Amino acid sequence: MKARPIQVRRFKDAKGGYRVLASWRRPERAVREAKVDLWIPELAPRVGLMRSYRQGRIGWKELNELYACQLRSPEAQNLLKPLALLSVRRNMVLLCDCPGGTKCPNRVLIQELESCRRDGNFALKLHERDA
């Protein structure tokens, strides 16, 4: 089965798929009920990382690199893998709540989801203490 493309859209254009929001900002109730199917704050760039970018202490490229490293952690992978599997079976839309929307970390999230899909490894890793 050919994997479906993952799209990034602003809230106002959030149609045509399973709508996922990876943001620390909790969506307002009306928006959440009308536009968001799944809110996963744990997959958002860390607050300190975004603050460093907005304050000019790191650039866009460094933000993307650090965010990609964050998404490769075992904890993030345990959230990404089921989401990647779902994205193979359903249209998925990553909702963008970035001011301006021109530079959106969701592009990094898409790359990591697509990497999971390419590898075909959707199995979650158990912590050693759980085994």
What does the pLDDT look like over 12-47, one tens digit per residue? 677 778 889 898 887 776 566 668 888 899 999 999
Rounded (5°) CA angle 25-75-49: 45
- For residue 4, the model assigns a pLDDT of 75
Q: What's this model's pTM, rounded to 2 decimal places?
A: 0.83
- What count of Cα atoms within 13 Å lies in the side-chain half-sphere of residue 102? 2
Q: 50-95 pLDDT, tens per residue?
A: 999 999 999 999 999 999 999 999 999 999 999 999 998 888 989 8
With respect to residue 111, please indicate whether it lies within any of the assigned structural domains: yes
Number of domains within the chain: 1
Q: Tell me how far apart the alpha carbons of residues 121 and 85 are, in angstroms, rounded to a whole number.
A: 9
Q: In this structure, what are the phi and psi dihedrals at residue 14, rounded to the nearest 5 degrees? A: -80, 80
Q: Tell me how far apart the alpha carbons of residues 67 and 64 are, in angstroms, rounded to a whole number.
A: 5
**Alpha carbon 49 to chain centroid distance?**
15
| Full residue range of the structural domain in which residue 16 is found | 6-130
With respect to residue 1, please indicate whether it lies within any of the assigned structural domains: no
With respect to residue 117, please indicate whether it lies within any of the assigned structural domains: yes
